[in-house]
Amino acid sequence: MTMKNIAEVLESVKTVGIGGHIRPDGDCVGSCMALYLYIRTYFPDIDVNVYLDHPKPIFGHIECIDEIKTEADDRVFDLFITCDVSARDRLALAGELFEKAKKTVCIDHHVSNQGFADINHVQGDISSCCEVLYGILDPEKVTLPIATAIYTGMVHDTGVFQYSSTSPETMRIAGELMKTGIPFSRIIDESFYQKTYIQNQVMGRVLAESILLQNGTCIIGYLRRRDMDFYGVEGSDLDGIVSQLRLTKGVEVAMFIYETETQTFKVSLRSNGKVDVSKVAVFFGGGGHTRAAGCDLHGSMYDVINNITAEIERQLAEEEDA
């Protein structure tokens, strides 16, 4: 079931909870906050709350970002809405709130989403959850703060409008958002290009130690826990590395892995088109999109690399045989 307008599910509702996926990215934070600001502005009688893991500092330009609840409570909401969550087990600290809610809605754009809520507004061919969300809001009610949150999510999930999921409609919506006066250049700079000195050092190390496999069509970057401790960085400091790896000439797939704890790795995948990395990620319990996906794996670093690259190699072989 899809919606024409978010107002459809807000009728006779007094309390609303909003939640996103673990380690929320720009699209997740942007869509959750845009929906929060929209409900708070135009449905003032509704008590609305957002539950997310601690957002990164780069999202500080989004209005009311400090009102996000980073710890769950025992409330029972009339309605709980998930944004940018591809599967029930990807819902972060708000998982129990979702389960206890009287009614649930899922707003998403992941092709791997099978639908886990009472109402599932999922459009897998659209660039971002923020774009999906924009489609069920009243355009004339999208204020500057709401537009800022939506634009943030869109630029994050389209790689500044360069991924294949970017459509003419994506660009039209971006243009409409720009009309509100959003600081679009600053959002892009702070989201993608501005790095700390340490972040640049870490990226340089990963690039220098990366390895090419499968006749140069696959590039792997990695970072062990001890290296992260040495530089004093966490996963949130590593954004942009896998995208830089993808730009290597001749590469079809880029993979960046880093150790979150002993023999547990976060895997980020990017494709230039020949490999559907969402299928690779789903095979290992993750999710994502055709050209950008991820998963978590346990084992040695070599096991993780071998397992992932075997799936990539299989797809490349099928492409050659086709």
Question: Is the pLDDT reported for residue 321 higher than 70?
Answer: no
**What pLDDT is stored for residue 71 in this prediction?**
92
Distance CA 120, CA 114 (A): 9
Q: Is residue 1 part of a domain?
A: no
71: alpha, beta or left, given left = phi > 0 and alpha = psi -120 to 50?
A: beta
pLDDT category of residue 304 using cuts at 50, 70 and 90: very high
186 with 259, same domain: the answer is no
pTM of the model: 0.80
145 with 277, same domain: the answer is no
Strand order in the sheet with 211-213: 211-213, 218-223, 253-261, 264-271, 292-298, 287-288
Structural domain including 273 reads 197-321
pLDDT category of residue 155 using cuts at 50, 70 and 90: very high
21 with 96, same domain: the answer is yes
Q: Which of 196, 192, 213, 216 is nearest to 204 (CA)?
A: 196
Distance CA 78, CA 292 (A): 34
Is 183 strand, coil or helix?
A: coil
209 with 123, same domain: the answer is no
150 with 173, same domain: the answer is yes
Distance CA 293, CA 286 (A): 8
CATH number of the domain that residue 142 is part of: 3.90.1640.10
168 with 129, same domain: the answer is yes
123 with 11, same domain: the answer is yes
Is 47 strand, coil or helix?
A: strand
Instruction: Determine contact, residues 88/116, Cβ cutoff 8 Å.
Output: yes
Give me the percent of the chain exceeding a pLDDT of 70: 99
Question: Is the pLDDT reported for residue 308 higher than 90?
Answer: yes
Question: Is the pLDDT reported for residue 170 higher than 80?
Answer: yes
**What pLDDT is stored for residue 290 in this prediction?**
84
82 with 154, same domain: the answer is yes
Q: Is residue 2 part of a domain?
A: no
Number of domains in the chain: 2
Instruction: Determine contact, residues 278/303, Cβ cutoff 8 Å.
Output: no
Last residue of a domain, one of 174, 192, 210: 192
305 with 236, same domain: the answer is yes
Model confidence pLDDT, tens digit, residues 261-279: 999 999 999 999 899 999 9
Model confidence pLDDT, tens digit, residues 79-88: 999 999 988 8
Model confidence pLDDT, tens digit, residues 96-128: 999 999 999 999 998 888 899 999 999 988 999
Model confidence pLDDT, tens digit, residues 10-61: 999 999 999 999 889 999 999 999 999 999 999 999 999 999 999 988 899 9
176 with 202, same domain: the answer is no
186 with 226, same domain: the answer is no
How many Cβ atoms from other residues are within 10 Å of residue 9's Cβ?
19
Question: Is the pLDDT reported for residue 92 higher than 90?
Answer: no
123 with 208, same domain: the answer is no
Compute the half-sphere exposure of residue 259: CA atoms within 13 Å on the CB side of its CA: 15
